[in-house]
Amino acid sequence: MAQTTATPSQTSGDLFSVIATDAPSSLYSRMSSKTTVPSNVSKTSPIQTNNFWGNITLGDQSSYIYTHPYVVWKSNINNFTGLAISHQTDAQKVWGPINDHNAPNYFYSAAGIMSMVLGSSDFDNGFSMSLTNLKKMSIDVTLKSNNSNAGSMTSSILQGMGMVTAVYNNLIPQIHSQVGFQSVSGDTAPKAGIDKYKIVLNDGSVWFMYITFTNNQSCQFALKDSSHIIASNSINNCWIQICCGDFSDYDKAAGCYPIACTLSGSTSNNIGTYSFNYTTAGSGTTPLIYAFPHHVQSFTSKTSSKKSNASINDTVHGQLIGYLTNVFEMSENLPTSANMDPWSSISSFKNASYTQDELNSIRNVAVKDITNDVANLSNVNSMYYSGKILDKFAYVLYVLYYVLKDEDLTKQFLVKMKDAMNRFTGNRQIFPLCYETSWGGICSTGGMSNGDTGVDFGNSAYNDHHFHYGYHIHAAAIIAKIDQLVGDGSWLNNNKTWVNNLVRDVANPSESDNYFPIFRSYDFFIGHSFAHGITVYADGKDEESSSEDYNFNYAMKIWAQVIGDKQMENRANLILAITSRSMNNYMLYMSNNSSIPSRFVPNLVSGIKFENKIEHTTYFGTNAEYVHGIHMLPITPISSFIRKPDFVKEEWESYLINKINGVNSGWKSILMLNVALYDPNTAYNFFNTNNFNYGYLDDGLTLTWALAYSAGVRN
C-alpha cells in the first residue's frame, strides 16, 4: 500500500495571510514589459494582469469589462460618450454551426451593443479617464470633462453588481442609447430623495434609472430625441443607477451601491467557508448583487435568506439571481483526503494499494524510465514544456519510494532529479526568468525584450503562469520530500524561496506582499482561473485547460504540506473545492447541467471559455482528442475530485469511446488514463501490455505513473 503523511484535521482562521514580503531573488534580472501601465492608472501596488477589469488598462482602454450580468466600457463615440452599458438576453445570443456533438460549436453575446450610456452633455467637448483603487475585486473609473468647470463622474466596477452606478460631480447628466428609447416615464419613487424612471428600449428590454439627490438638489429628465435623455441641470455629489429587468426588489437597493469587496475565509476539518464582504456607499446599507449558479448552490443560510425577485441572463454562466445583501457567504467540502498518493472519488475506493503482479509490472517500466537523462530532456526553451518533463519524472521518483519502496533506486534517481531541477532553481535555463517591474511578476525572458507574445505561450505577457509554474512547484515538492527521506535533507532549505516566489507570482494571498498582485490567475467570483494576460481580448479573459488550472492549486497544496504551511494548504483546498463546483457548472457538462444554455450541453466540455463566449475548440486545433484532452491533463491524485466518475463515464461512453481508435498520438494515453477516473480496470489493462507503444504517451506522462495511478485506484 502506498502511504504518505496525511494532513491532520485542523481549524484555521483567516486563510489569506502573507507568504513572504521579501523581494524576489536577485537571480532574476529586473526587466520591464513592452506593454506599459497607462499613465492614467493610479499605481500604488502591483497591477492585476489576468483580472476581469484588465481590458480597461490595455490598448486604447476602450475594450469591454464583463461584470456579469452587465458589460461596461468607455465610449468615445460622438453623441454617445461616457460609460457604456450592455446587456443581452439568451434570445439574442449568436450560435455557431452544429458539430459532431449535435450541438453548436460556439455561442456568444454581441457585447458592443450600447443599451445605455451614462454620460453628460459636458462630455461633448471630450473627456479624460483615470483609474483608481485598483483591487482584485473592484476598480474605480472616473471620467472627467474637458470643459473649464472640469466636472466628473466616478463609477465603482465590481462583478455581480446589480446596478451600474455613477456619482456625478458638477455635471449635467445625459443618458444615451444606440438601441434607442421606445419610452421613458417617471415611476413611483422608492424612497425619499430618490427619483425613478422606467425606460423601455427599442429591442423591448426594460431598464430602470434611479437618481439619488443630496443637499436638497433636484433635476428632471426628459427625452431629447430617440437616443438621448437629458437632465435639466447640473448635479453635484448625486448618483445615477442603471439596471436591467422589471423587478420590484431593485427599489429596495436603490441609493446603495458597492464600492469594494474583500475576501475572507476559514476552514474547520473538511469544511471551508469563504465570504465576499462588500463595502457600500450611498444611502442605505444593502445593495443588490447578482449570484452565479455555483454561488447559489453553496450559499449558507446567512446569504440564501437574502434572495430577491431579480434574475437575469448572463453571457456564459446561465441565469443569475439577485440577493439583497452586503455579504456572500459560501461553504464547501474540502478535498482533505486527496494528497500525494493515487486517489479516487469512486465510492468503493479506500486507499491506494497494489498486488504483487501490479508491483512487478510497475517495476519493469520504472527501471526503464529512470534511465532517462532528465537534465538533458528538460533543457528546453519553454517553462511549460520543461515543467511537464520535470514533473512527469517527479511522479516516477514518488513511485520508486512510496509504491515500490526501493530506497536504492530512489536515491539514484533523486540525484538525477536534483541535477535537472537545479538548472531552474539556479535560473540557468535557456530563457531565464526575470522580475518584470511594470506590472509586478516573475516572467520568462523569452519574448520580453521585443514584446513577442508568441514565445512560450506568452509567458512574458503573463499568459499561463499557473499552467507553467504548477508543474515546477509540484516537481519541487516531490524532490524536497524525497530528499528529506533518503537524501541529505538540504534541498528544501536551499530552494524553498525559489518555489515560494513562483507560488507568490500566481497566488499571492495578501496585499502585504508588495511585489505581486493578489491572486494573479484565480478569480474567486467566477470560481476558476484566467490564463490570459496583458493583451486585449474583446470577449474578455479566457481559459482553455481547466485541468492545468487545478493542477497548479494541487501543486500548491502538496508544496504546502512539504513545507508545513497549513494556511497555504487550507487555502489550496478551498480553491480546489470552489473550482470543482465552478468547473462542473461552466466547463464540464453532464447531461443534467442547468447552468449553461441547454443546447450547448451536449459538447460535454467547454473548449475555450471566455467571459463572453464559449467555443468548443482549442488554440492548437479542433481534433476531439485536443478539445477534450486539454481538460484532462495531467491526470493526478486531484483529478477525480474535479472530474467526477459520473461525468467521466458519460463523456467516455457517449462520445470518446467512438473516437479513441482513431487517436494514435500522445493524446491516446491522456484519454485512456482519464478512463481510470471511473473505470480503472480498463485503463490499467490498456497500459499493462507487453510491447506498449510509447508513441501513445503524452510528453508529460510516464508509463510508470500511468500504471501506478490506474492500479492504485482499482483495488
Is the distance from CB of 294 to CB of 327 less than 8 angstroms? Answer: no
By DSSP bridging, strand 608-610 and strand 613-615 are antiparallel
The residue from 251, 391, 539, 548 that is catalytic is 548
Q: How far apart are CA 512 and CA 505, in angstroms?
A: 14
DSSP conformation class of 437:
T
690 burial via Cβ count (<10 Å: 0-12, 13-18, 19+): exposed
Helices (H) then strands (E): counts for the chain: 17, 32
Quick count: other Cβ atoms within 10 Å of Cβ 57?
A: 23
Q: How far apart are CA 84 and CA 6, in angstroms?
A: 52
By DSSP bridging, strand 256-268 and strand 433-436 are unpaired
Cα(first)–Cα(last) distance of the chain, in Å?
A: 10
Taking CA atoms, 30 is separated from 48, 165, 455, 460, in Å, by 19, 40, 19, 13
544 noted as active-site residue:
yes
Is the distance from CB of 190 to CB of 210 less than 8 angstroms? Answer: yes
415 burial via Cβ count (<10 Å: 0-12, 13-18, 19+): exposed
The residue from 140, 329, 436, 464 that is catalytic is 464
Taking CA atoms, 330 is separated from 291, 296, 299, 615, in Å, by 11, 8, 4, 29
Residue 575: left (phi > 0), alpha (psi -120 to 50), or beta? alpha
Quick count: other Cβ atoms within 10 Å of Cβ 291?
A: 27
Residue 615 DSSP SS3: strand
653 noted as active-site residue:
no
Residue 451: left (phi > 0), alpha (psi -120 to 50), or beta? left
549 noted as active-site residue:
no
C-alpha cell at 107: 455561442
- Report which of 532, 404, 438, 396 is spatially closest to residue 32, judged by C-alpha positions: 438
The residue from 544, 565, 611, 650 that is catalytic is 544
- Report which of 219, 231, 228 is spatially closest to residue 201, judged by C-alpha positions: 228
C-alpha cell at 441: 511578476
C-alpha cell at 201: 428600449
Residues assigned a catalytic role: 464, 544, 548
